[in-house]
Amino acid sequence: MCGIIGYISGKSQKENIEVLIEGLKALEYRGYDSAGLVSISNENLIYKKSLGQVKNLEADVNKILNSSPVFGEGDYSIGIAHTRWATHGVPSELNSHPHTDCNENIFVIHNGIIENYKELKNILEKGGHIFKSQTDTEVIPHLLEKFLKENNNNSNKFDLSFLETLKIIKGAFAIAVIFKELPEMIYVAKLSSPLVIGIGENENYIASDPSALIGNTKKVIYLKDGEYAKVSKNNVNIFNFQSQSVEGEIKKEITELEWDIERAQKGDYPDFMMKEICEASEVLKKALMGRIKIDQNNPGNSFIKLGGLESIEEELKSAKRIIILGCGTSYYAGMVAEYLFKKVSKIPTEVFLASEFRYREEVFVPDTIVIAISQSGETADTIAAIKKCHDNNLTVIGIVNVVGSTISRITDSGVYNHAGPEIGVASTKAFISQLSVLALVSLYIAQIKNKSFDKNLISELNNLGDKMDAILKEENISKIKSFAEKYSNKKDFLYLGRNFNYPVALEGALKLKEISYIHAEGYAGGEMKHGPLAMIDENFPTFAIATRNKKDNVIQDKLFSNLEEIKARKGEILCIATEGDENINHITNDLIYIPETLEELEPLLVIIPMQLFAYYVGKAKNLDVDKPRNLAKSVTVE
């Protein structure tokens, strides 16, 4: 959940630090309690840690650079930097990274958790090591110090000491180390926490996330669990630390990143969150590109092509059960997919929180397909749940956004979202892309299993981008903004939906909680009489999804009954309704219209005004909508 960046080149120290700072800014969505860096060039060492956001570290380091002589190019310029999301120890300069040994000769940054750090710390303290922080990370530089002393007479002492340290620590980690005595090398290692190496010319990079490398290089190497690397400005040497030897270099494939710097920058938007909400139709089109084949003369002959699933087509044909796994927003996307797979693919489907599934007892039956959803492809609980499925010989499909991520590599097949980088911590466009891909997968399975479904679904999905753009017209955004400002002083909110829109109500409530810190609860409309109605009064408003489609108005009629109950108790109501529906005016205080679409695809439209509402409530409260407190983008530790 923390952010890691490292850079080694023949450039000046100032340029080295600029790369580190810019990398940290790109990673700040992963953690922003504190930040720190160490940079070495021509024997000049700058080591600084600062509390708060990366801009504080940048200002502090600039003061050091401005008061120091200018150091030009040399044989090397090396540095590592870190932005922290606190796990062990409160946010403070002492607890921020890099951490060092007793004599500040070894510098370590780390993402993850060292589970046996207390035991190791006790041993090290008895050996005379002095700790400065409350973190689990600090045991790493002290272990390295201990082993370096023991291996001092060995010419391979740095490799051996690093390897011995990796073999003694337990848990999940991505680690980067610089030795003051060996300033032309960054040592890195990975176990259950993401780490990527960026390849350049006469320069190389390391990062916890490819987004930190955008604009510098598109060539990357993804480390697998159990691998470590020695990174110099011209070479990357990779080994397996779980083997018994430092010998046996591993040859790795270089992957080309699809993302570019323009897509990762805000452009004319005030925040990444607004930019990413407004990219909805682009995200949909990229998810569908090359995957929907429309027959203009006979729409009934239109079909879905998913090359990533062709290798398991026989397994899909014989599938009798689908399990969907996800966390947070990905879980709610999975809940929508549960409705889709049952209605479109005609397969019994269950969705589980990956964090619960990994521990619960589950009855696994043959011909079960598992779908794991994760924007980053690095979600720790989802990775653990996938491993459990593989242990039970189940076929697993990955739906991820990041090419080369852990989940994309450990699943049997998959479909990429192609949404591009999502920088805002609260997921918006990832939800759109996940729903789009899940709709494709449900249609693809129905197609290969010869199940009957409404062929209009394919053409309507293909044309949905125009309806998204209609919602995002300036006059509609302005209207939603005014509603958000009206309700921004509320302390509680209820979100209601039914059928396909019940999971969207949950996601809408989550967005409001994440962005505005307002207590919000999502409920299925039919549950109102089973408890939630007790909360309703004039200070507890409701955001209801009351859409109407031509197929079936029963669901809306039932929801109207729920809203009448709320109105009778003086609760204010904000509704999302279908364009042209005048029946709802008498029941709601405020109204947002969306274009009509098929029931199965409504969540793709409904979520957009809900995202905008949460965004503008956060803005009305002068909050940082891109970086909500206490949250990190990618949850890579349990």
Q: What residue ranges do the domains of the chain occupy?
A: 3-257, 263-469, 473-638
Question: For residues 10 and 74, is the Cβ–Cβ distance under 8 A?
Answer: yes
Q: 333-362 as b/e, with b when 16 or more CB fall inside 10 Å? A: bbbbbbbbbebbbebebbbbbbbebbeeeb
Render 261-281 in DSSP notation, one character per residue. HHHHS-TT-SSHHHHHHHTHH
Reading the block at residue 636, the tokens are 């890579």
Question: For residues 60 and 68, is the Cβ–Cβ distance under 8 A?
Answer: no
Q: Dihedral (C-alpha) 571, 577, 580, 584: value to the nearest 10 degrees?
A: -20
Distance of CA 415 to the CA centre of its chain: 16
Spatial CA neighbour of 415 closest among 388, 445, 394, 393: 445
Question: Are the folds of 263-469 and 473-638 the same?
Answer: yes
Residue 70 pLDDT: 54
Q: Dihedral (C-alpha) 538, 526, 440, 351: value to the nearest 10 degrees?
A: 100
Kindly state the helix (H) or strand (E) to which residue 505 belongs, with its residue range: helix 502-516
| Options 190, 230, 286, 633, the catalytic residue | 633
DSSP 8-state secondary structure symbol assigned to residue 87: S
Gyration radius of the chain over CA positions = 26
Residue 389 among the catalytic residues: no
| Options 2, 278, 327, 575, the catalytic residue | 2
Measured CA to CA, the distance from residue 3 to residue 195 in angstroms comes to 10
CATH class of the structural domain 473-638:
alpha beta
Residue 584 pLDDT: 83
pTM of model > 0.85 = no
Residue 224 among the catalytic residues: no
Q: Average pLDDT by consecutive 10-residue portion of the chain (638 residues)?
A: 87 91 79 84 88 88 78 72 73 86 95 89 94 92 96 92 94 92 94 89 91 86 91 93 70 78 70 93 91 76 87 93 95 96 95 91 90 90 92 94 84 90 87 96 93 86 94 95 96 93 96 96 83 82 86 70 81 90 84 94 97 97 88 57
CATH ID of 263-469, from 3.20.20.80, 3.40.50.10490, 3.40.50.300, 3.40.430.10: 3.40.50.10490
CATH hierarchy code of domain 3-257 = 3.60.20.10
Question: For residues 476 and 469, is the Cβ–Cβ distance under 8 A?
Answer: no
Q: Is 597 helix (H, G, I), strand (E, B) or coil?
A: coil
Residue 524 pLDDT: 87
